[in-house]
Structure 1
Amino acid sequence: MLDANEFGDAVAMLYEAAAVPEVWPTAIARLAEIAGCTGGLLFVHSRQGTNWVASKEFSSVFQRFLDQGWMDRNARMAGLLAHGGTGFVTDHDLFTEDELAETALYRDFLRPEGYGWGTATHVRSSSGETIVFTLERKFELGPVSRRETELLDSVRPHLARAAVLASKLQMQRAQVSLDSFEKAGSPAALVGAGGALCAANPGFEALIGQIVVRARDKIALEDTRANALLQKALADLGQDRVGDTRSIPVPCRGDRPAFIVHVLPVRRLARDIFSRAQALLVITTTARGLRIEASLLCELYDLTRAEAAVAGGLLEGRTVEQLALSRGVGRETVRGQVKAVLAKTGSRSQADFIRRLAPLTLSA
C-alpha cells in the first residue's frame, strides 16, 4: 500500500490539476509511477469530440494513435465501457490471451509501439461526458498486477472527483466569459467541435431566428451566404491563413437589424481538456463596437497582463517606441511582448493582428 505521504502527494496533485490544467501531465505521470507503468493519458469524450492530455512519455504515442484513426476502432475502450466496473481494469479483465493476440489494436499498434499492457477506468460526468483514465506499460514488463490496480483503486475516488470538478470549473469559466460580453451589451456564444453550440448568453439567445440551431446543436445562420462564411470560418479555426473571413455580416430580417458575427478562436480554454469550446462568437451591430478588456484578452489568448497592455496599445495605433515610453520600459522589452502577442493570437504581423481584432474594438 502507499504510505501516507505518497497517497497525500498523489491526491493533492489531482485536485491541483482540476484547478490548473497544466498540472495534469505531471499528475498522470505520478499515478503511472505508482502503478509501475511508463505513462498514461486522460481523455474526455462527448458527441462534440475528444480532448486529451497525456504524460510527457506517452504524448507522442497517443498522437500517432489518433493520427492513424485508432480512436474510431478502439476495442479496449469499448470493452472498458461494456465492463461496467467502477474500478481500474486490466487487459486480462477485458480479453483472453487469444483475443489479445487477434485484436487489431494490440497486434497492429500497441505492441509494435512497444506497449500492450495497461489499466484503465472511466467516469461519467453530470454533463454527459465520458472521462477515461488509462495507464500504459511497456510490453516487456508484463501485465499490470491486481495489487497495482488495488493501489490505483485507493486513489480512484479522488481521481473521479478531480475530473468532475475540473469539468464543472471549466463550465463556470466559460460562463464568466459570456457574462462579460452580456454586461457590455454584446450577444456571445461558445462553439465546440463541428460547430456545436456549447453555451450562450441571453443576448445571443434573443437572436434565434437570424441564428439557427440545427441537429446536434450545430450553429448556423439563416442567411445562406452568411452561413457559408460562418461554416468556413469555423472549419478553418486552426489554420490562421491570410485573408480568412472571421467577421461576417448578417442582413436584417423583418424588423430585426443587421449585425456582424465575429469568430474568435479560443486559445487558452482549448488547453483545458474539459473545455468543449473552440471558438467564441461575438455579435456587434454596425452602430457600435466592443472594447476587449485586458482580462478577457488574457483569458482568451493566454496573454500576460503586460502583453495584454501592449496588445491594447497596438489596437490604438501606438508604435513600439510610444509604448516603451508610456510604460517606462525598453524598446526591446516591448518588441519581445509584441512577438508574444502575435504568436499567441495566431497573427503573422502587427497589421494582421490589428485586422483580426479591430472589428471588436471601439474606435476612438
Structure 2
Amino acid sequence: MSAVDDALDLIYEAALLPQYWPGALARVNQVVGLDGAALFVASDEDVRWTATHSFADTVAAFIEEERWRGNARNTRALALKHAGFVTDQQVFTPEELDREPMFTEFLRPRGWGWASGTVIMMPTGEVLTFHFENYFHRGPVGHQSVRLLDELRPHLARSALLSCRLHLEKMQASLSGIEALGYPAAVLGRGGRVLAANSSFGSLGSVVVAKAHGGFALRNPKANGLVQQALEQVVQGHRSPRSIATPGTEEHPPFVFHVIPIRRSAHDLFFGSEAFLVGTPVGRPKAPPFEILNALFDLTPGEARVTRLLTSGLSPSEIAKASNVSVETIRVQIKSVLQKSGMHRQAELVGFLSGIDTFDSPSSLKR
C-alpha cells in the first residue's frame, strides 16, 4: 500500500471515528513533508479543534488566547475564494509576515511560522479549516507539498462532511426514539440554537416559540428564563441535568422540561451540540422505559432496569432481592448511572426522572 493510500484510509476512518483525526493528520504530514497540522471548526460563538501531537500545545494556546478572533490568515484565505490550499506567501507580503503579531509574537517564538491551509464552508454554517504548518527554520511550504495537499483536499472535505452528517443522523435517531415514546425533544447548540428536533417538539406552538437564527423560547417567561439559564450553565461546564416546570395551555398539558447536557466527545468537533431538551407531559408514568434512558444517558439494559425500579420506588436492597444479586452489585450499577447522567445523588436521579413532582414546586423554580 502506498503512503497516499494509507493516508486516505486513515482519513476515511476518521470520518467514522473523529478521535482518529490527529493520527490521520499526522500521516498526511508525512506524505506532504510538513511538521504539524490542525483541523478547526469555527462558528460565531466558538472554535473546536483537533491537532497532531507536535502542534497541539500551540493550537491550545492559540484558542486559549483567543487569537482565532480576527485571524488574518483565515480572513484573507476566504477572500481569495480559492478551492484549494494556499500558503502564507500568497496571502501576506514579506513585510507583513515580519510585522504581523500572529507570526512575530506567537508562532515564531514557538518555532513555527510557515503554513498552508484551506477553508471549507460546512452545511451547518460553520467554517472548517485544514491547517498544515512547517517549523520556521525549514522555510516556507513548497509547491510540491501544496500539490499533494490539493490532491488530498477532496478526501479531507468529504470525510469531514461525512462526520458531520453521521453525528447529525445519530442525534436525529435519538430524537426519533424519544418521540416514539411520546416525548417532544430537541438537540440544542450554543446560544440555545435548535440543531435538530422531532416533530412532537415542533408541534408545541402554544408552549414553545421559534426565534430568529434557529433559536427558541418557552412562552412562559419565568420558565424560559430558567431554561436559558440552564443552557448558559451547560456552556460554562456545568454537566448536571436541570428540570424546569412550565404551566399548561388550552392545547397542551403542563410540562417539565429537562435540560440534559450532552457529554463532550470527539464528535463535537463537527457538531456543536450542547444539550438535549426533553419535555415530560405531566401525567406520564414515572418510570421511563429503557429506550429513553438509553437515548439520554447511554445506559446498559441492566443499568436501565435498576434505574426504572428506583424510579418506581424500590430501594437498592429491594431491587437486589428482586434481581437475585447482591446489594453491592446494585450499588455499583447505580454509581455508574449517576456518572453517566452527571448527577451526584440517588434522590436527585429519581426526582429528575419522575419529573412530575417538580411541577409548581418552589424548589424546582429556584434551581
Question: TM-score of the superposition, structure 1-length normalised?
Answer: 0.85
Does the 8 Å contact 2:178/2:184 carry over to 1? yes
Once the two structures are superposed, the pairs formed by residues 203-242 of structure 1 within 5 Å of their partners are 203-238=200-235
Does the 8 Å contact 1:261/1:282 carry over to 2? yes
Report what 2:13 is aligned to. Answer: 16
Report what 1:175 is aligned to. Answer: 172
2: CA distance, partners of 1:127 / 1:19? 18
Aligned with 1:250 (options 238, 246, 255): 246
Does the 8 Å contact 2:254/2:281 carry over to 1? yes
How many aligned positions are there? 353
Does the 8 Å contact 1:268/1:300 carry over to 2? no
Aligned-pair CA distance for 1:357: 4.4
Report what 1:141 is aligned to. Answer: 138
SS of corresponding position for 2:128: strand
1: CA distance, partners of 2:38 / 2:147? 19
Q: Residue type matched to 2:111 in 1? A: G
Aligned-pair CA distance for 1:327: 8.3
Q: Would you say 1:275 and 2:271 are equivalent positions?
A: yes
Does the 8 Å contact 1:210/1:221 carry over to 2? yes
Report what 1:77 is aligned to. Answer: 74
Does the 8 Å contact 1:100/1:106 carry over to 2? yes
Report what 1:165 is aligned to. Answer: 162
Larger mean CA deviation between 291-300 and 247-256 belongs to: 291-300
Aligned with 2:309 (options 316, 330, 348): 316
Taking a change above 3 Å as real, the CA distance of residues 92 and 281 of structure 1, as seen in their structure-2 partners, is same
Report what 2:184 is aligned to. Answer: 187
Aligned-pair CA distance for 1:178: 1.0
Taking a change above 3 Å as real, the CA distance of residues 110 and 224 of structure 1, as seen in their structure-2 partners, is same
Does the 8 Å contact 2:175/2:198 carry over to 1? yes
Aligned-pair CA distance for 1:209: 3.4
Does the 8 Å contact 2:179/2:200 carry over to 1? yes
Does the 8 Å contact 2:317/2:327 carry over to 1? no
Gapped regions of structure 1 (runs ≥ 5):
none
Does the 8 Å contact 1:310/1:323 carry over to 2? no
1: CA distance, partners of 2:237 / 2:148? 46
Q: Would you say 1:37 and 2:34 are equivalent positions?
A: yes
Larger mean CA deviation between 29-38 and 92-101 belongs to: 29-38
Aligned-pair CA distance for 1:271: 3.6
Taking a change above 3 Å as real, the CA distance of residues 88 and 337 of structure 1, as seen in their structure-2 partners, is farther
Aligned-pair CA distance for 1:77: 0.9
2: CA distance, partners of 1:195 / 1:119? 35
Does the 8 Å contact 1:190/1:198 carry over to 2? yes
Gapped regions of structure 2 (runs ≥ 5):
358-367
Does the 8 Å contact 1:190/1:199 carry over to 2? yes
Does the 8 Å contact 1:269/1:275 carry over to 2? no
Does the 8 Å contact 2:113/2:135 carry over to 1? yes
Does the 8 Å contact 2:309/2:319 carry over to 1? no
Deviations 1:138-189 (A, max 9, x none): 2222221111111222211111111112222122112111111111111111
Q: Residue type matched to 1:266 in 2? A: I
Does the 8 Å contact 1:269/1:299 carry over to 2? no
Question: TM-score of the superposition, structure 2-length normalised?
Answer: 0.84
1: CA distance, partners of 2:36 / 2:292? 35
Aligned with 1:196 (options 166, 179, 193): 193
Deviations 1:284-335 (A, max 9, x none): 11101576565665565566x4xx633541453353896699487995x776
Report what 1:265 is aligned to. Answer: 261
Taking a change above 3 Å as real, the CA distance of residues 292 and 286 of structure 1, as seen in their structure-2 partners, is closer
Aligned with 1:286 (options 282, 303, 306): 282
1: CA distance, partners of 2:333 / 2:241? 26
Does the 8 Å contact 1:188/1:281 carry over to 2? yes
Aligned-pair CA distance for 1:280: 0.6
2: CA distance, partners of 1:302 / 1:180? 13
Aligned-pair CA distance for 1:249: 0.8
Q: Would you say 1:25 and 2:22 are equivalent positions?
A: yes
Q: Residue type matched to 1:205 in 2? A: G
1: CA distance, partners of 2:109 / 2:339? 37
2: CA distance, partners of 1:258 / 1:321? 33
Identity value in percent: 36
Q: Residue type matched to 1:313 in 2? A: V
Taking a change above 3 Å as real, the CA distance of residues 228 and 154 of structure 1, as seen in their structure-2 partners, is same
Aligned-pair CA distance for 1:83: 1.8
Q: Residue type matched to 1:65 in 2? A: F
1: CA distance, partners of 2:331 / 2:298? 18
2: CA distance, partners of 1:113 / 1:293? 54
2: CA distance, partners of 1:97 / 1:103? 10
2: CA distance, partners of 1:286 / 1:330? 32
Does the 8 Å contact 1:313/1:323 carry over to 2? no
2: CA distance, partners of 1:80 / 1:123? 10
